Amino acid sequence: MNIEEARIIALSLPGVTEDMPFGDDNVVFRIEGKIFMCLMLTSVDAHFAIKLTPERNELLRAAYEHVTPAWHWNKKHWSDIYYEHFDERQIKEWIEESYALVVSKLPKALREKYRLS
């Protein structure tokens, strides 16, 4: 798994946009303006931050040494994923999980528009 593959997975989801609101060293992926993933571009250790439920974050951190509390994000809700240590299937699952969580918090009309099959 590499940086471009992670980016392609995020952009393949319905309605996703990307921008760089925090500078040139990371890319933020959003659905309806809400961030679900931040891909670090200049970090020594390749990783991205994703939003998950607090319970899910705890489970993943306990199970995998390459899933840690997100450095510059709310550590209860965000984890850093060092994606080079995982296969594409696993990374895709986690990115989709983050996307689905953020979609679930959107108003009902928008949730229906972005529901994953």
Residue with tokens 């594409």: 88
Structure pTM?
Answer: 0.92
As a whole number, mean pLDDT of residues 19-43 equals 93
Residue 96 — very low, low, confident or very high, per pLDDT cuts 50/70/90?
very high
pLDDT at 85: 93
Give the other-Cβ count within 10 Å of 9's Cβ: 22
Q: Which of 11, 34, 23, 32 is nearest to 92 (CA)?
A: 11
As a whole number, mean pLDDT of residues 21-42 equals 94
- Percent residues over pLDDT 90 in the chain: 78
